Chains A and B, each alone.
Chain A
Amino acid sequence: MTSNISPTSAIEATTIHVEKLDNGMTVVVQPMPWQRTAAMALSLRGGVSVEDPSKGGLAGMACEMVQRGAGSYSSRDLVAVQDNLGIDRNSGVSTSMTSFSAAMPADSLPQCIAIHADVVRRPHLPSDQLDDARLMSIQELRAMQDEPTHRVMRRLRELHYGENLGRSIFGTESGLTAITPDDVRDYFTDHYHAGESIFSVAGRVEIDQVVTMAKEAFGDWKSLPATELPAVDRKATYEHIESPSSQTHIGFAFPSIPYGDDDYFRMRAGIGILSDGMSSRLFDRVREQRGLCYTVSASCHSLKKAGGVFGYAGTTPERAQETLDVTLGEIARMTEDLQQAELDRWKVRIQSGLIMEQESSASRASSLASDLYQVGRVLTTEELESAIESITLDDIRDHWDKNPPTDYTIVTLGPKALQVKLP
């Protein structure tokens, strides 16, 4: 029995300020005055999808190189000054972005913004450190090759989105080896600019102050058009990677709609019933009832105009065929015996998550940035909550029946290939 959940009272009414600067940067600020911290996220267009295929890994190398000294700071100064300010930072590249994010005690925000302006606008890009940065990237690449789950999901993504759109953020060994100081400088010149960038801030902050600081730091930054994403070029296929591993690692994917699509939450609720929580279908029926594996899951992934459902199961080789068959069978019959209680449980989980997100300025700053990029505007917590509340079992069934999972891409890694029936 599920109680009727209406957590609206636990959502604080706050103002979300969105402002587009003349150079194309969107500034978004959400004050969370109950917090002691502040967080920022700066997302620049570009990412691995704009790399020349022979220079795979360039976006990541550029992201590393801009942090090796900028403005009046050396590489070591940058680390020291940020550690002393208590700035917990992260940076990285994705298919279409280079992102810098940071969480900190609220007082450190002004300096944090100024430091990041130096990093993205005035990096030294020291040629004599290029080889160190290259070796660092090769280390990361090698590390990923030792992770069988990563290898499977990586290859799956490449097949699902195509070689360009599905390119690895870690690059390739040959790409990394080929990168020159000029490549890094060119990437910086072409892709580090305000055009279509997003700067989001959440936490214990004042809107006016943040906007003033953002304008000071980024207002006179140059602007260029953002490069469009390449098209999806997917292959519905089965591929096996031979390995003497203890488990057979199974990855599967099928096409779906991205975040921002009108039907997104209807689709997402169906995947939630399949795989969100310990009472979800896959966890219950593949692991709990049959004991076939320790890990089994499926989740939604979104790029700007394309999406997919990606799933994984790891199991010992003699049970791998059954695991694959049972898992895909559960997905195929998802709408057969849908129960209201399953949907209710999913709603409580999502709504609890939305309320608890108010405890984290970092999580909020990144949601603001991702909404702006994916949907072009910010979805308020109240809006998300009512979109989720309104979903019915019929919505889920209707969407699923019109868009049944099909055209699977499957990748396995292990001692032996599986029998996969592709249409």
Chain B
Amino acid sequence: MPEFRETTLPNGLRIAAEIDNRGYSAAFGYFVRSGARDEVDHESGLSHFLEHMMFKGTANRSAADVNRELDELGGQGNAYTSEEQTVYYATVLPKFQDRIVDLLSDMMRPSLAEVEFETERDVILEEIAKYEDQPPFGAFERALEVYFGPRGLGRRVLGTSESIETMKCEAMRAYFQRRYRPENMVLAASGNVDFDGLVEQAEKLSADWASTPMPSTPDPDDDKTVPAGISIDRHLEIPDAHQAYLIRMTDGPSAACDDRFATRALAAVVGDEGGSRLFWDLIDTGKAEVATVWPQEFMDTGAWFTYLVCDPADVKSNTKLIEDVIDRVVKDGVQKEELDQAINKATAGCIMQSERPSNRLFGLGSRWLTHREYFSTDDMLDRLKSLDVAAVSAAAKKYCSGESIEILAAKS
């Protein structure tokens, strides 16, 4: 059985690990409470831009050194930024633990050099352009902007071309000092990990992290204005799109709310890609390419998404079919048979996932960062087993009958 261990260093950095010394690999990651919702207008896109800059050299390593060493350790490593956190991770053979921890920890104190900042600005602008060309052509960002407003959770993770073009390196340095404080960070590890070695090394490497002064809090945004480059139209015109992309958003449970397990099961029964109610009505019949629902949990709030992709001519009829499915599950609840099927599928998925330490790392690190809680694979299986028809049916009533906002990306 894997063993869970955790500690908090004197500087506030938390370390959490799920250790299983039978594994072939070990995964490590820094989880940082830094995301789009922590930015103000002139910082829009900064959490993500900073994520890129963390690979661009430290006092001890050049940018090329960082990339080279990551490759030397054979690591499958990378980073991502969301509305609420930024994560840097790598999976390596256990014998490389010391070296990867040294590298990742060093990266957490970057140089943020002006010349690298200028080159990377171009890469970020390319990344924004790349997503503009990809379905659903910014419709998810737009949904969050309209639903939450264009700030906070509605702020775009990538920022806008306008915000990135005018971004200042000093703003990044101040933002870094505000967010990358040890008490805002978790070092997580999973798999074949030497925990005592990890703690000892991290303590040494992070010894001076708490010593930087806290910069002043930036002035709050003027809520009466719309940030640069943002539009909150509910229709996105995509001149050469073949399909139409429709998103609806309403309330869902937060990551702290106990309803989240029942809501996830509800999403499986209603919208799973393989054998759900929406699958049989819309996908199996070829009426739509995608017709699904899912909950998205944030730390203190949540959302429930409905997503439809189909021929623009069929949006209306398909929307009606989806509404019928939702109305029925709100009114009559779920059946035991379909719930059991969803639970069995999720149970096997959970067991199969657990065979790779890299799969376990993200849930572990992110949960410890935001809620200081740990769920083992067995805890998750227990939660799944305890779900019943009443709880899932209640979740349908609670989350599927409210008002929603709607975004459509299509050629009109």
A binding-site residues for B, Cβ under 8 Å: 2, 5, 7, 10, 34-37, 75-76, 79-80, 83-88, 103-105, 108, 131-140, 142-143, 145-149, 243-247, 249, 277-280, 283-284, 287-295, 314-316, 341, 344-345, 348-349, 351-353, 355-356, 358-360
- Across the interface, do A131 and B126 meet the contact criterion of CB distance under 8 Å? no
The 5 closest A-B pairs by CB, nearest first: A86-B348, A135-B286, A352-B74, A291-B122, A79-B275
Question: Mind listing 13 A-B residue pairs with CB under 8 Å?
Answer: A36-B351, A83-B342, A86-B347, A132-B286, A136-B284, A247-B126, A277-B67, A279-B64, A279-B68, A288-B63, A344-B72, A355-B93, A359-B23
* Chain B hits for A108, CB < 8 A: 348
A294 contacts across to B, CB distance below 8 A? 123, 126-127, 130
Q: Is the CB of B309 within 8 A of A143?
A: yes
Chain A, residue nearest B119 (CB): A291
In the complex, what distance in Å separates the CA atom of A145 from the CA atom of B309?
A: 13
B243 touches A146 (CB 8 A): yes
Cβ 8 A contact of B55, one of A10, A37, A243, A278:
A278
Q: How far is the CA of A72 from the CA of B63 in the complex (A)?
A: 61
Complex CA–CA separation, A132 to B330 (angstroms): 28
> B348 near A104 (CB under 8 angstroms)?
yes
Nearest Cβ on chain A to B322's Cβ, whole angstroms: 16
Q: A136-B286, A352-B75 are in contact. Are A83 and B24 (CB under 8 A)?
A: no
A278-B70 contact in complex given A79-B274, A294-B123, C-beta closer than 8 Å: yes
With the chains together, A213 CA to B282 CA distance in Å? 37
Interface string of B9-31 (1 = CB under 8 A from A): 00000000000001111000000
Interface positions of B from 55 to 73, Cβ below 8 Å from A: 55, 63-64, 67-68, 70-73
Q: Which chain A positions have C-beta within 8 A of B345? A: 83-84, 86
Q: Is residue B408 within 8 Å, beta carbon to beta carbon, of the partner chain?
A: no
- Verify if B382 is at the interface (C-beta below 8 Å from A): no
Select one of B24, B239, B241, B355 contacting A10, CB under 8 A. Answer: B24
Contact indicator B355/A139 (Cβ below 8 Å): no
When A136-B284, A139-B310 are in contact, do A36 and B130 touch as well, CB less than 8 Å?
no
Query: Quick one: given A132-B284, A244-B239, A345-B68, are A140 and B289 in contact (CB under 8 Å)?
Result: yes
B71 touches A345 (CB 8 A): yes
Q: Of residues 76 to 108 in B, which have CB atoms within 8 Å of A's CB atoms?
A: 76, 91-93
> B337 contacts which chain A residues (CB < 8 A)?
80
Taking the nearest CB of chain A, how far is it from the CB of B100, in angstroms? 11
Known interface pairs A5-B74, A279-B67; 7 further A-B residue pairs with C-beta atoms within 8 A, sorted by A's residue number:
A76-B280, A88-B349, A147-B135, A290-B119, A314-B133, A353-B76, A359-B356
Residue of B at shortest CB range from A135? B286
**B residues at A contact (CB < 8 Å):** 22-25, 55, 63-64, 67-68, 70-76, 91-93, 119-123, 125-127, 129-130, 132-135, 239-243, 274-275, 280, 283-289, 309-311, 337, 340-342, 344-345, 347-349, 351-352, 354-357
Bound-state CA distance A334–B119 (Å) is 24
Contact A134 B135 (CB under 8 A): no
Bound CA span A292–B125, Å = 10
Q: Which of B64, B129, B241, B352 is within 8 Å of A37, CB to CB? A: B352
Distance in angstroms between the alpha carbons of A390 and B243 in the assembled complex: 50
| Chain A residues with CB under 8 A of B240 | 243-245
Q: If the complex has contacts A145-B242, A146-B243, A352-B75, are A135 and B285 also in contact, measured as CB distance less than 8 A?
A: yes
**Least CB distance, A203 to chain B, in whole angstroms:** 10
Pairwise interchain contact B355-A83, C-beta atoms closer than 8 A = no
Residue pair A352, B286 in contact (C-beta under 8 Å): no
Do A246 and B129 touch (CB < 8 A)? yes
Other-chain contact of B133, A143, A148, A278, A351 (Cβ < 8 Å): A148
Distance A135 CA – B129 CA, assembled complex (angstroms): 32
Give the chain A neighbours of B76 by CB distance below 8 A.
352-353, 356
List the B residue with the shortest CB-CB distance to A145. B242
A residues near B121, Cβ cutoff 8 Å: 291
- Nearest residue (CB) in A for B286 is A135
CB distance from B75 to the nearest CB of A (A): 7
- Cβ of B344 and Cβ of A83 under 8 Å apart? yes
Residues on A with beta carbons closer than 8 Å to the beta carbon of B72: 2, 344-345, 348
